[in-house]
């Protein structure tokens, strides 16, 4: 977790949206060649894009963009949550960026897992891992989020019943619980939850400070939460008093 130069790099690029390689080299006090190498590695991971002379962030309504925000924290959360998934199991994963990293971790760890998801981003993200088997549910395609939603998803879900469902969230309120920002997607995740015994939320702690527009789940519906240590203490106790198992990385 010790902050690497690459982390700084990503943060600067995210903040500036577009910045010259030369300027980055000045700020970080390394040669341009080194910056270029770092940038190429980050581009490889899909965390930013290159242009002749520049580094630019991904399109903000792209999933890769969200992936680049708090990347290290999300990665740690995903690693921790991956421990929960047994070899040879079948799990459901929703569409969040941390969920994508969870899937990737499972792939890297070589566990044989079947992932049922609504996200084509995730399906592609882990395409390289032979040990993962991905089933994508059917439905209306939302290109911006690369997710399928709507009544057809519910119908496709009929056939399934799993132990664990991993989801992300967009906002939180101690009284009302967790929130989403897209009606279709929120509704779809709720349908998924009906088919899973255990609901596990993966989210960086920033979401606990945000509101959302559509209620996703009440606290009573959530079983476990994986997040980072920055959760406000009041929220922490609130969650725990609702019998939610809290894992902090």
Partner DNA sequence: CATAATTAATTTCATATGAAACTAGATTTT
Partner DNA sequence: AAAATCTAGTTTCATATGAAATTAATTATG
Binding site residues, DNA, CB under 7 A:
5, 20-22, 29-34, 36-37, 40, 50-54
Burial class from Cβ neighbours inside 10 Å (0-12, 13-18, 19+) for residue 223 reads middle
H-run or E-run covering 10 = helix 5-16
87 versus 159: smaller Cβ distance to its own copies: 159
Burial class from Cβ neighbours inside 10 Å (0-12, 13-18, 19+) for residue 6 reads middle
| Binding range to its own copies, per CB under 8 A, among 11-19, 76-84, 120-128, 215-223 | 120-128
54 versus 65: smaller Cβ distance to DNA: 54
- Interaction between residue 127 and its own copies (CB under 8 A): yes
| Binding range to its own copies, per CB under 8 A, among 29-37, 77-85, 116-124, 224-232 | 116-124
Other C-beta atoms within 10 Å of 136: how many? Answer: 17
138 binds, among its own copies, DNA, none (CB under 5 to 8 A by kind): its own copies
- Interaction between residue 87 and its own copies (CB under 8 A): no
b (16+ CB within 10 A) / e for 12-31: ebbebeebebeebbeeeeee
36 binds, among DNA, its own copies, none (CB under 5 to 8 A by kind): DNA
């Amino acid at each position: 977790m010790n902050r690497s130069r690459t982390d700084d790099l990503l943060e600067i690029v995210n903040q500036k949206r577009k910045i010259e390689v030369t300027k980055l080299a000045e700020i970080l006090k390394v040669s341009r060649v080194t910056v270029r190498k770092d940038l190429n590695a980050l581009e490889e991971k899909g965390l930013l894009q290159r242009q002749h002379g520049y580094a630019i962030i991904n399109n903000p309504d792209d999933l890769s963009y969200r992936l680049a925000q708090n990347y290290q924290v999300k990665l740690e959360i995903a690693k921790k949550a991956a421990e929960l998934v047994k070899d040879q199991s079948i799990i459901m994963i929703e569409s969040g960026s941390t969920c994508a990293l969870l899937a990737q971790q499972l792939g890297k760890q070589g566990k044989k897992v079947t992932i049922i998801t609504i996200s084509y981003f995730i399906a592609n993200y882990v395409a390289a891992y032979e040990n993962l088997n991905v089933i994508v549910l059917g439905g209306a395609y939302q290109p911006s989020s690369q997710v399928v939603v709507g009544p057809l998803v519910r119908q496709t879900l009929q056939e399934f019943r799993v132990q664990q469902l991993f989801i992300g969230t967009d906002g939180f309120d101690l009284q009302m619980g967790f929130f989403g920002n897209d009606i279709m997607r929120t509704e779809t995740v709720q349908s998924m939850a009906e088919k899973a015994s255990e609901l596990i939320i993966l989210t960086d702690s920033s979401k606990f400070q945000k509101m959302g527009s559509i209620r996703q789940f009440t606290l009573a519906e959530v079983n476990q939460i994986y997040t980072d240590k920055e959760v406000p203490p009041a929220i922490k106790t609130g969650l725990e008093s609702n019998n939610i198992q809290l894992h902090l990385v």
